[in-house]
Amino acid sequence: MERERAKNGEELPVSEQSVGILHGVGQKTREALSKLGVETVGDLVRLYPRAYQNRGDTMSLSLIREKLADGETGPFSAILTVAAAPVTRTVRRGMTLTKTRAFDETGSVEITWFNQPYIVSRVHVGETFRFYGRYTWEYGKLNLNSPVTEAWREDVPLADIVPVYPVTAELKQKFMADAVAQALRLTEREWKENLPLDALSELGLPTVGYTLRQIHRPESAAAIGAAKKRLAFEELYLMFLSMAQSGAAAKQPSGALRFTDCGLDEFLAALPFALTGAQARSVGEIAADLSGGKLMNRILTGDVGSGKTAVAEAAAYLAVKNGKKAVVMAPTEILARQHYADFSRLFEKLGIKTALLCGATKKKERNEILEGLRADGGVDIVVGTHALLTEDVTFGRLGLAVIDEQHRFGVRQRAALFEKAKNVHCLVMSATPIPRTLTLAAYGMIDVSRLDELPAGRAKTSTFIVNESYRERLNGFIRKQAGEGRQIYVVCPAVEEREREADAEELSNLSLYEETPETAPMKSALQTADELAHALPELRIGFVHGKLKSAEKDRVMTEFAEGRLDVLVSTTVVEVGVNVPNATLMIVENAERFGLSQLHQLRGRVGRGSYQSYFILVSDTKSPEAQDRLKAIKSTTDGFEIAEYDLELRGPGDFFSEAGAIRQHGQMNFRLAAACRDPVMIERASYYAKRTVEDDPALARPENAETARRLAALGRKEGKIQN
């Protein structure tokens, strides 16, 4: 589209132009902005402040003293008159302190600036300033360190609420504020409403113009609240929209794909075990879909280990039995390999040909598979990664598409798959047990099968909660398990570098996002890996984290899966459904940082063989809430129950995307929606999304044009995450 416009000599809308067109944005800055997911001017408009400084809420020093005594920490704002000329002294090389005193009618405060000697020329005796910062009560007096210092004059009003933007080390707040101001000015006339107008009026949400203006230059805390509510709704709406869209695409009447032969005797005889009740029920639901004359659009949800693969195999079997082919797509190569191993072992017995296609597949073999996928080719079932999505892959006689862990694919990849697998039966597998409440809302257009029962004969996994004082014993336990030939996972929370930096330097007392309260200092994954290597030098330890290239990640994961590593230290980015039955111990560091559903999924990585397994949560958290959550994990193993509880506590975040994977890449997408705990908002967003898609599945109507653009922009970012 971009090229077409250029050809016609038409200008691209400013929103879609590169941030490079802004004043003061050069190559370096563009790279820094890109780390924040900002490529276009429009992205900058959608880069919401992470917090605000409420400098306008000024109070007297005596009130500040009272608040401090009540345990509040501020920051606070006060209008004060300077009592003495500031004096600078050098305390040691490279460090100066500039001190003065200031007062109001209720008291006085000692102010210290670090390394800001120029203050002397700006702050004079008798002048009045608004001082915003952290006040403390120490040594029997009120102190204030390095406050934001603004000259206070009746005739020059100051901004009361000042946004704090997400930044990287290279970007300064002042720069961000300028760049965003430019972006707002340049794009304002292009802003278009992207929500249904009746949704706005029903829920009392502000328009897009008000929202974008207030989110960046709020008039009041209440205005931020209104804007935030609208943005949360918008994110929910877009999220549901992309789900409903993929649902609608599949759900078309199709007599052609009515499977008439749904007998499973031969299949069940070849299966090495008897189906559980839940598996049998799900297979029955699928068979009914496949023979029902409409396209199946079903999600199969169940805990890790609940046996989703066998259900997918039954569906694939029915496709082949009815003269069609099936495609099974997994988000990573290692998962694709595991599925392939499982499928090919079973289907070989049935004389059904299975092939594996991923990025690493050699050209010659690849060509053979592509050949086999033609209508007259010999491949019945192909398992693979997104390598299946390249242009040269075409499926003949395709009848069924199975997608594992759909949420791990980007919007674009999903779209590409739906394009290729148009008009075929579709089965999505999800290891996140989706709470019933959300199923109703999100999957109204999709049918749901639930595997709420685990195959019998599994050794139980025991869950323990310990604190740092157990470190020695933990290491001893790792040694013992490894000594018995077992394998160990150590999982650490992903480090959000950018946010930590920002936290350290910027004071704010109004937050846009709900931050996880800082309960205990977080150990980095790197440090954990280091310490383990020191404590247990005799063990083979591997380390995977989000910053690794995916080939490298896969290599380490494969080494672990093949038993060539004793311990795998990882961040959750890699926590996909890998099956290593020999792993019997998982230790989760800073467990309070994880969502319940995440923890539950992690627990599913162990206890997959016949060995007694252990799931150990390490946490020094003092927060009673966090402790309750950890206890909840200890007390139940029912994924659906946990999911319901997690939804209540944290909002739908975990269920839509693996929040960890998105946050780690510094993306802000859907963070507001993820934290939205208002069931009415969730339900209404889903209602409007469904309605929109029913009316206009391709979002082709003019009134949906802006919505389509927003989805595309989000898809572009999500696509980036995958790379």
Q: Which residues bind ligand ADP (CB under 6 A)?
A: 273-276, 279, 302, 304-310, 431, 455, 577, 579
DSSP reduced 3-state for 16: helix
User: What does DSSP say about strands 354-357 and 461-466: parallel, antiparallel, or unpaired?
Assistant: unpaired
284 binds, among ligand ADP, Mg ion, none (CB under 5 to 8 A by kind): none
Q: How far is the CB of 339 from Mg ion (least distance, A)?
A: 7
Contacts of 413 (CB under 8 A, 6+ apart): 386, 389, 719, 722
Q: What's the Cα-to-Cα distance from 516 to each of 45, 230, 594, 626, 672, rounded to whole Å?
A: 25, 22, 10, 10, 13
82 binds, among ligand ADP, Mg ion, none (CB under 5 to 8 A by kind): none
Taken in order 697, 701, 703, 709, is the CA torsion positive or negative? Answer: positive
Asked if 603 and 633 count as a contact pair (C-beta separation under 8 A), the reply is yes
310 binds, among ligand ADP, Mg ion, none (CB under 5 to 8 A by kind): ligand ADP
37 binds, among Mg ion, ligand ADP, none (CB under 5 to 8 A by kind): none
Residue carrying the six token digits 């929500």: 195
DSSP reduced 3-state for 357: strand
Beta bridge partners of 510: 52
Q: How far is the CB of 402 from ligand ADP (least distance, A)?
A: 11
Q: How far is the CB of 404 from ligand ADP (least distance, A)?
A: 8
Asked if 586 and 616 count as a contact pair (C-beta separation under 8 A), the reply is yes
Q: How far is the CB of 408 from Mg ion (least distance, A)?
A: 12
Encoded tokens for 27:
């190559």
Nearer to ligand ADP, 42 or 307 (CB): 307
Q: How far is the CB of 275 from Mg ion (least distance, A)?
A: 16
Q: How far is the CB of 4 from Mg ion (least distance, A)?
A: 43
- What single letter denotes the amino acid at residue 236? L
Q: In a 10 Å sphere around its CB, with 0-12 CB exposed, 13-18 middle and 19+ buried, how is residue 175 labelled? A: middle
Nearer to ligand ADP, 299 or 431 (CB): 431
276 binds, among Mg ion, ligand ADP, none (CB under 5 to 8 A by kind): ligand ADP
Nearer to Mg ion, 655 or 670 (CB): 655
Asked if 513 and 672 count as a contact pair (C-beta separation under 8 A), the reply is yes
Nearer to ligand ADP, 114 or 273 (CB): 273
Give me the residue whose beta carbon is nearest to Mg ion.
577
Q: How far is the CB of 614 from ligand ADP (least distance, A)?
A: 19
DSSP at 511: E
196 binds, among Mg ion, ligand ADP, none (CB under 5 to 8 A by kind): none
Q: How far is the CB of 308 from Mg ion (least distance, A)?
A: 5
Residue 493 CA to residue 523 CA, distance in Å, equals 8
Told to check if 410 binds Mg ion by CB under 5 A, we report no
DSSP reduced 3-state for 183: helix
455 binds, among Mg ion, ligand ADP, none (CB under 5 to 8 A by kind): ligand ADP
Nearer to ligand ADP, 142 or 310 (CB): 310
Residue 481 CA to residue 484 CA, distance in Å, equals 5
When computed from its CA atoms, the radius of gyration of the chain, rounded to whole angstroms, is 29
Asked if 235 and 282 count as a contact pair (C-beta separation under 8 A), the reply is no
Q: What's the Cα-to-Cα distance from 356 to each of 395, 442, 460, 556, 669, rounded to whole Å?
A: 14, 32, 33, 20, 33
**Interface segment toward Mg ion; rule CB under 5 A; list 16-24, 78-86, 576-584, 662-670:** 576-584
Residue 136 φ then ψ, to 5°: -135, 155
Half-sphere exposure in the Cβ direction for 124 (13 Å, CA): 3
Nearer to ligand ADP, 39 or 313 (CB): 313
Q: How far is the CB of 462 from Mg ion (least distance, A)?
A: 23
197 binds, among ligand ADP, Mg ion, none (CB under 5 to 8 A by kind): none
425 binds, among ligand ADP, Mg ion, none (CB under 5 to 8 A by kind): none
**Interface segment toward Mg ion; rule CB under 5 A; list 235-243, 515-523, 572-580, 615-623:** 572-580
Nearer to ligand ADP, 637 or 669 (CB): 637
Told to check if 302 binds Mg ion by CB under 5 A, we report no
Q: How far is the CB of 623 from ligand ADP (least distance, A)?
A: 32
Encoded tokens for 1:
């589209």
Encoded tokens for 293:
């004359």
Residue 634 CA to residue 617 CA, distance in Å, equals 9
Residue carrying the six token digits 């000024």: 58
306 binds, among ligand ADP, Mg ion, none (CB under 5 to 8 A by kind): ligand ADP
307 binds, among Mg ion, ligand ADP, none (CB under 5 to 8 A by kind): ligand ADP
- What single letter denotes the amino acid at residue 607? G
DSSP reduced 3-state for 324: coil
Show the site string, 220-239: x = touches Mg ion by CB under 5 A, - = not. Answer: --------------------
DSSP 705-723: HHHHHHHHHHHHHHHHHH-
Nearer to ligand ADP, 355 or 402 (CB): 402
Q: How far is the CB of 334 from ligand ADP (least distance, A)?
A: 13
275 binds, among ligand ADP, Mg ion, none (CB under 5 to 8 A by kind): ligand ADP
Residue 408 CA to residue 658 CA, distance in Å, equals 7
The number of residues that bind Mg ion (CB under 5 A) is 1
Write out the binding residues for Mg ion, residues 366-395 only, by CB under 5 A: none
Instruction: State in Å, rounded, how far the first CA of the chain is from the last one.
Output: 23
Nearer to ligand ADP, 310 or 415 (CB): 310
Q: How far is the CB of 642 from ligand ADP (least distance, A)?
A: 16
Nearer to Mg ion, 39 or 405 (CB): 405
Encoded tokens for 149:
């210092």
Nearer to ligand ADP, 435 or 444 (CB): 435
Q: What's the Cα-to-Cα distance from 170 to each of 148, 176, 325, 624, rounded to whole Å?
A: 21, 11, 52, 38
Residue carrying the six token digits 């996909």: 576
Asked if 689 and 240 count as a contact pair (C-beta separation under 8 A), the reply is yes
Encoded tokens for 37:
């997911």
Nearer to ligand ADP, 289 or 452 (CB): 452
302 binds, among Mg ion, ligand ADP, none (CB under 5 to 8 A by kind): ligand ADP
Nearer to ligand ADP, 179 or 491 (CB): 491
Q: Give the helix ranges, DSSP H, for 46-97.
A: 61-69
**Interface segment toward Mg ion; rule CB under 5 A; list 44-52, 358-366, 464-472, 573-581:** 573-581
Q: How far is the CB of 577 from Mg ion (least distance, A)?
A: 4
Residue 714 CA to residue 594 CA, distance in Å, equals 25
Nearer to Mg ion, 305 or 435 (CB): 305
Q: How far is the CB of 300 from ligand ADP (least distance, A)?
A: 9
Taken in order 626, 628, 630, 632, is the CA torsion positive or negative? Answer: negative
Nearer to ligand ADP, 275 or 315 (CB): 275
Nearer to ligand ADP, 562 or 648 (CB): 562
**Interface segment toward Mg ion; rule CB under 5 A; list 70-78, 500-508, 569-577, 617-625:** 569-577
Q: How far is the CB of 590 from ligand ADP (least distance, A)?
A: 25
Write out the binding residues for Mg ion, residues 577-616 only, by CB under 5 A: 577
Q: How far is the CB of 278 from ligand ADP (least distance, A)?
A: 9
Nearer to Mg ion, 331 or 577 (CB): 577
User: CA angle 105-109-112, nearest 5°?
Assistant: 150
Asked if 337 and 466 count as a contact pair (C-beta separation under 8 A), the reply is no
Residue 50 CA to residue 53 CA, distance in Å, equals 10
Q: How far is the CB of 6 from ligand ADP (least distance, A)?
A: 47
Told to check if 331 binds Mg ion by CB under 5 A, we report no
Write out the binding residues for Mg ion, residues 55-94 only, by CB under 5 A: none
Asked if 630 and 463 count as a contact pair (C-beta separation under 8 A), the reply is no
Give contact residues for Mg ion (rule: CB under 5 A). Answer: 577
